[in-house]
Amino acid sequence: MSFVKFMSGENIPLEMHKVRMVQKVNLLPVEQRLKAIEEAGYNTFLLKNRDVFLDQLTDSGVNAMSQEQYAAMMRADDSYAGSETFYRLEAVLQDIFGMKYFLPAHQGRACEHLISKILVKPGLTTIMNYHFTTTKAHITILGGIVEEIVIDEGLKIESDLPFKGDLNIDRLNELIKKLGKEKIAFVRIEAGTNLIGGQPVSMNNMRMVSDICRNAGIPLVYDASLLGDNLYFIKKRDEKYKNADIKSICREIASMMDIVYFSARKLGSARGGGILVNNEELYLKFRDLIPLYEGFLTYGGMSVREMEALAVGLEETMDMDVVSQTPIIVEALCNELIKNGVPVVTPPGGLGCHVDATQICAHLPQTQYRAGALTAAIYIASGVRNMERGTMSEQRNEDGSERFAEMELARLAVPRRVFTLSQVKYTADRISWLYQNRNLIGGLEFTEEPKVLRFFFGRLKPIGNWPEELAKKFREDFGDSL
């Protein structure tokens, strides 16, 4: 996408593609939306797609594919071992990242499972800018400890710092000194930090972290799932890389890392995942685990059709028109909301627009899941499915007490090339309405609470009858309109 100047002087996001296949979506009346969220236990993960207007739950596995990706699927080489498809994908990845070995896995968390299995031991610490839900679960289930060292600014809602996902270098040095390298499993950099607003990491910061890890002999792992957005921000926000070729930036990043892994549900607009390493000894450790947990080494649990689509999708990602897709729509959505006074994470990041439930639901105690309540309320007000990224997405402490999230966010993910600008405006309008009526949003409590990753299947109920009141007010204000 590109921002293009209109006659009025306004910069409008313009799609650099045309839509050639469509899927019908339903916008239910507010009364039916209320019923649907009730049936889903006030958890947007449990909504049925038929009850959802715009699915902004995630950017995972829901990005629109190009005609070249669909065409490539037809030539997939079906075979258990030695598939030509594997070698095509491997060649593309080696070219983009300049790394020697590629190991396929069925998705991002599968890579995390294998990396943790090899590097994490009980009592060892993993240091990272910020955790992702599945990453932390895989580390802690093995008895590992997670230390997060994102810079302070990274946890502030409003900021104008261009790279809020950077690691705090002083804290990194301190931790290495305090723990000693033997007690550190690995250091992990997450591109485009998922849980704190899709904020990017700077080249300069990655370089410093890499130098420190190399000196100390600590493995450095790069989660490249949200690399696409991060690449856009490096080109846009770092003067030094303004004219750099995207592929050369990828190679430069990979050259600083020992292990690169990714979810191909995000990177490359297909479905799958993979791990890249240079070191042969490490490669052999992974190689033994792939057939055990994923599938044979030449498919790793992915369908060969998806692998073909991924190979093409990754090549296409090396293009500003592609990596700009999500960040530009996120910026447009954030700007609409900011215009109406709605607090959102700034500067706009990748992945999605993040609405601040701490401010919007300040009248609720944090024990009543502010972000969860806002997420459900957004669905009632709009039919837009979004995701809670706050305390509900955390796990309770060992003693059963609640572990409060540092940020309480409702996340409106922006899948690549899927939604139009009028749909973005609709989302912004309904959330702005909700913001004006925020005093109507009440709290939630669990009725069923799984122990691990509770946000996926947990069920909740409202405290009081606020959802009915909210729906009633919506009907009053919008009349016959959906």
Active site residues: 80, 132-133, 223, 266, 389, 455
Tokens 């790069």 map to which residue?
A: 222
What is the size of the binding site for ligand PLP (CB under 6 A)?
16
If the CB atoms of residues 1 and 201 are measured against ligand PLP, the closer one turns out to be 201
Q: Which residues pair with 193 in a beta bridge?
A: 199
Closest CA to 382 of 32, 24, 33, 25: 33
103 vs 287: CA distance, rounded Å: 7
In the complex, the smallest distance separating the C-beta of residue 193 from ligand PLP, rounded to whole angstroms, is 7
CB 172 within 8 A of CB 206: no
Q: 201 or 434, CB closer to ligand PLP?
A: 201
Question: 194 or 269: whose CB is closer to ligand PLP?
Answer: 194
What's the first-to-final CA gap in the chain, in angstroms?
A: 30
Q: Does 60 participate in binding ligand PLP (rule CB under 6 A)?
A: yes
Residues 269-288 that bind ligand PLP (CB under 6 A): 273
String of DSSP letters for 80-130: SSS-HHHHHHHHHHHHHH--SEEEEESSHHHHHHHHHHHH--TT-EEEESS
Task: Specify the residue, 176 or 413, whose C-beta has the smaller distance to ligand PLP.
Answer: 413
What is the nearest approach in angstroms of ligand PLP to the Cβ of residue 45?
13
Which residues does residue 199 pair with via DSSP β-bridges, in sequence order? 193
Encoded amino acid at 75, one letter: R
Does residue 196 belong to the site contacting ligand PLP (CB under 6 A)? no
Q: Do residues 211 and 176 make contact, with C-beta atoms less than 8 angstroms apart?
A: no
Find the binding residues for ligand PLP in span 127-166 (CB under 6 A): 132, 134-135
Asked if 194 is part of the footprint of ligand PLP (rule: CB under 6 A), the reply reads yes
Residue 109 vs 164, nearer CB to ligand PLP? 109
Q: Does 386 interact with ligand PLP (rule: CB under 6 A)?
A: no
> Which residue among 83, 107, 126, 325 contacts ligand PLP (CB under 6 A)?
107
Cβ-based neighbour number of residue 242 at 10 Å: 10
**Binder to ligand PLP among 51, 190, 306, 315 (CB under 6 A)?**
190
**Contact pattern from residue 253 through residue 272 relative to ligand PLP, giving x for each residue in contact according to CB under 6 A and a dash for the rest:** ----------x-xx------
Q: Which is nearer to ligand PLP, 259 or 361 (CB)?
A: 259
Q: Does 305 bind ligand PLP (CB under 6 A)?
A: no
Q: Give me the residue label for tokens 């627009």.
A: 353
Pick between residue 134 and residue 427 the one whose CB is nearest to ligand PLP. 134
| Shortest Cβ 64–ligand PLP spacing (Å) | 17
C-beta of residue 195 within 8 angstroms of C-beta of residue 320:
no
CB of 351 to ligand PLP, least distance (A): 7
Among 55, 65, 104, 109, the residue binding ligand PLP under the rule CB under 6 A is 109
- The number of C-alpha atoms within 13 Å of 432 and in the hemisphere containing its C-beta is 15
**Chain residue whose CB lies nearest ligand PLP:** 108
Strands 387-389 and 409-413: antiparallel
Burial of 239 (0-12, 13-18, 19+ CB in 10 A): exposed
For residues 241 and 427, what is the distance between their CA atoms, to the nearest angstrom?
Answer: 33
Residues 199-228 that bind ligand PLP (CB under 6 A): 223, 225-226
Query: Closest approach of Cβ 200 to ligand PLP, in Å?
Result: 12
If phi over 0 gives left and psi between -120 and 50 gives alpha, with beta otherwise, what is residue 41?
Answer: left
CB of 268 to ligand PLP, least distance (A): 11
Across the strands, what pairs with 460?
A: 446
Instruction: Catalog residues that contact ligand PLP under the rule CB under 6 A.
Output: 60, 107-109, 132, 134-135, 190, 194, 223, 225-226, 263, 265-266, 273
